[in-house]
């Protein structure tokens, strides 16, 4: 199975810079399309332009969040149906920044993931422990509860991706050891199997300070099927450096 390298642009980029980033990346991927499956997730208003910029390349475009409802009175939210209609193929749900900044619960994340599936999108469901939780030896408890609570009903390894992102590794330049990442990924797979029968063939991404310099080692860990990349997805050189380092 090819690795999946997904760029989470977060709340970064304006029209010109985002267009340049997406089209620069498209040129690289078109030249070497077999390195990995590549996706980018820009801010909502940039999606249409990003889709145009990557057209003719195998890069997928996704959203960073969606609402659980199909439509209605939800000011400021975006429906999964609209993301799909625009041409997106995936959406991130339950990122730790949404769980922290918007108080999203696993129950809400599950509803969002189910809305994504209903709209025909792949749901990239994020889980991960805080530093205090890791220090207290609660990583498996916390991540296990997030998996049980957040995975959609009726998902398959083709429609659900899990991103394991330790909160303390996001944007900090710190990462767990390779052994620690491998251990949590093995735990995530077995729990996803128990919880929703999703272990075999499920793609589990690692996220948190993935850079060109550590990508080869992280992506070579058994059970790591790709990466969800924040900061290093914001330049063509860094993001391509990660894609090129896929084993
Ligand atoms: P980072 O972010 O690569 O900047 O650590 C990862 C993420 O939050 O998805």
Q: At what angle do helices 212-219 and 178-196 cross, to 10 degrees?
A: 50
C-beta 238 within 6 A of ligand 1: no
CB 143 within 8 A of CB 190: no
C-alpha to C-alpha distance for 188 and 14, rounded to whole angstroms: 36
C-beta 175 within 6 A of ligand 1: no
The domain 63-68+77-150+168-244 is placed in CATH, from the list 3.40.50.300, 3.90.199.10, 3.20.20.70, 1.10.260.40, at 3.20.20.70
Å from CA of 170 to ligand 1 middle? 5
Each residue's pLDDT tens digit, 67-125: 999 999 999 999 999 999 999 999 999 999 999 999 999 999 999 999 999 999 999 99
State the pLDDT at residue 40: 98
| β strands within 193-246, DSSP E | 203-207, 226-229
Which residue puts its alpha carbon closest to atom 9 of ligand 1? Answer: 230
Task: Please say if the pLDDT value at position 199 is more than 90.
Answer: no
Which residues fall within 8 angstroms of residue 16, CB to CB, at 6 or more apart? none
Each residue's pLDDT tens digit, 53-71: 999 999 999 999 999 999 9
Closest CA to 26 of 63, 66, 53, 64: 53
What pTM did the predictor assign?
0.98
Give the confidence band of 1 by pLDDT, cuts at 50, 70, 90.
Answer: confident
C-beta 42 within 6 A of ligand 1: no
């Amino acid at each position: 199975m090819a690795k999946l390298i997904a760029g989470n642009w977060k709340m970064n980029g304006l029209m010109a810079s985002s267009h340049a980033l997406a089209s620069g990346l498209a040129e690289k991927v078109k030249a070497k399309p077999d390195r990995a499956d590549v996706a980018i997730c820009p801010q909502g208003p940039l999606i249409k332009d990003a889709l145009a910029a990557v057209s003719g390349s195998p890069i997928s475009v996704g959203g960073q969040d969606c609402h659980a409802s199909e439509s209605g009175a939800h000011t400021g939210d975006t429906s999964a149906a609209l993301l799909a209609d625009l041409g997106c193929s995936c959406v991130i749900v339950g990122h730790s920044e949404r769980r922290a900044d918007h108080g999203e619960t696993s129950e809400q994340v599950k509803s969002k993931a189910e809305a994504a599936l209903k709209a025909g999108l792949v749901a990239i469901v994020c889980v991960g422990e805080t530093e205090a939780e890791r220090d207290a030896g609660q990583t498996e408890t916390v991540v296990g509860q997030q998996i049980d609570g957040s995975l959609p009903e009726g998902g398959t390894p083709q429609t659900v991706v899990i991103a394991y992102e330790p909160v303390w590794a996001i944007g900090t330049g710190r990462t767990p050891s390779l052994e620690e990442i491998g251990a949590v990924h093995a735990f995530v797979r077995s729990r996803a199997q128990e919880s929703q029968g999703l272990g075999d063939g499920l793609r589990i991404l690692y996220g948190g300070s993935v850079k060109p310099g550590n990508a080869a080692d992280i992506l070579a860990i058994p059970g790591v099927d790709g990466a969800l990349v924040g900061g290093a997805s914001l330049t063509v050189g860094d993001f391509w450096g990660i894609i090129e380092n896929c084993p």
